[in-house]
């Protein structure tokens, strides 16, 4: 199949591209900045194309002849405030993708959303929910929506970021320590997406995707420190202090922790019904994967063996 992907230049995109290529699909990755992700174009079976993804007519030209489209663009923080950045990246872009699918006659669309989309008070989750509403109302497109919890894997923005912070801080203050999460391996998410491509039973369906265990944020940070062999004290901050940290850190370039992140963490990131059950996939636990890429040790080969194990 010829599959066009929007937003595949990030961490999860690399996992999904590998899974699609392994399943013998030809992937076309659209990006507004080819020079920033040129390494993706070196993957056999991947075609990297520079295009204005916010122009529906341009998208329609790129979608012509495609068997399916994957919408997976997203941001965790916006450059300004007020939700405009989230709306542009999550809602306006999806509007254009739907219109382009109609123009090009592409009926199959996979969309990567987020667990709890439309819930809570964060602009991130609100905009994700608005995008899902648009997709569900597009009854002329066969849509499948995937709602993963926080994803982990080589190069992730979760365990790697906390590991880097812990390496520099003997004592770490932690906002929202009681927030609950259900970390899921990116490769497992990619596997179910590939399995859904030609399955009509997944049309019009949404799938919550979480790992086999639920943790508090503090438990995950403490575990990360132990995994790296670091003796660190992690101090969970109460609500008002967590909010204050979000306000201060949101002013730092790059927004390592923003007010919207704080609002998102107030809604537990766990599944009500895990979509892996339908696909017969057993999601892998963090201890089977994370220690190997955090340590950067010779055990990387063991990780590769683990990843090749059948999960059905």
For 80, half-sphere exposure in the C-beta direction (CA atoms, 13 angstrom radius) is 9
pLDDT tens by residue, 130-152: 999 999 999 999 999 999 999 99
pLDDT at 304: 47
Q: What is residue 274's DSSP assignment? A: B
Topology given in CATH for the domain delimited by 2-155+183-211+269-283: Rossmann fold (3.40.50)
pLDDT at 80: 77
pLDDT at 256: 87
The H-or-E segment that residue 204 falls in is none
The H-or-E segment that residue 266 falls in is none
CA distances from 226 to 124, 163, 164, 251, 291 (A): 31, 10, 13, 30, 10
pLDDT at 37: 80
- Classify residue 174 as exposed, middle or buried by CB count within 10 Å of its CB (0-12, 13-18, 19+): buried
Query: pTM higher than 0.95, yes or no?
Result: no
Say how far apart CA 70 and CA 16 lie, in whole Å.
10
Given a cut of 50, the residues of the chain with pLDDT beneath it are 297-305, 307-312
Contact in structure between 178 and 301 (CB atoms under 8 Å): no
pLDDT at 38: 73
pLDDT at 296: 60
CA distances from 18 to 11, 27, 168 (A): 12, 10, 33
């Amino acid at each position: 199949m010829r599959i066009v992907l929007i937003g595949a230049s990030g961490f999860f995109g690399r996992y999904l591209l590998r899974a699609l290529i392994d399943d013998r699909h030809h992937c076309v990755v659209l990006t507004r900045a080819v020079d920033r992700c040129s390494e993706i174009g070196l993957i056999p079976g991947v075609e990297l194309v520079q295009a204005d993804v916010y122009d529906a007519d341009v998208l329609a030209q790129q979608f012509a002849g495609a068997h399916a489209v994957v919408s997976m663009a997203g941001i965790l923080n916006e450059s300004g405030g007020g939700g405009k950045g989230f709306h542009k990246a999550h809602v306006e872009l999806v509007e254009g993708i739907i219109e382009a699918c109609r123009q090009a006659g592409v009926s199959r669309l996979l969309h990567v959303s987020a667990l709890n989309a439309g819930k809570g008070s964060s602009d991130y989750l609100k905009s994700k929910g608005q995008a899902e509403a648009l997709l569900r109302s597009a009854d002329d497109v066969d849509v499948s929506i995937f709602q993963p919890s926080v994803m982990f894997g080589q190069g992730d923005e979760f365990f790697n970021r906390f590991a880097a912070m812990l390496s520099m801080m003997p004592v770490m203050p932690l906002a929202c320590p009681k927030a609950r999460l259900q970390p899921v391996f990116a490769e497992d998410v990619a596997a179910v997406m590939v399995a859904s491509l030609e399955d009509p039973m997944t049309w019009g369906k949404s799938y919550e995707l979480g790992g086999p265990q639920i943790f508090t944020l503090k438990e995950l940070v403490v575990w990360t420190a132990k995994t790296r062999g670091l003796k660190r004290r992690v101090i969970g901050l109460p609500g008002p202090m967590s909010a204050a940290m979000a306000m201060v850190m949101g002013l730092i370039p790059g927004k390592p922790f923003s007010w919207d992140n704080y609002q998102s963490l107030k809604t537990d990131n766990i599944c009500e019904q895990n979509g892996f059950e339908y696909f017969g996939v057993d999601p892998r636990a963090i201890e089977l994967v994370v220690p190997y890429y955090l340590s950067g040790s010779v055990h990387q080969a063991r990780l590769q063996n683990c990843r090749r194990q059948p999960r059905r």
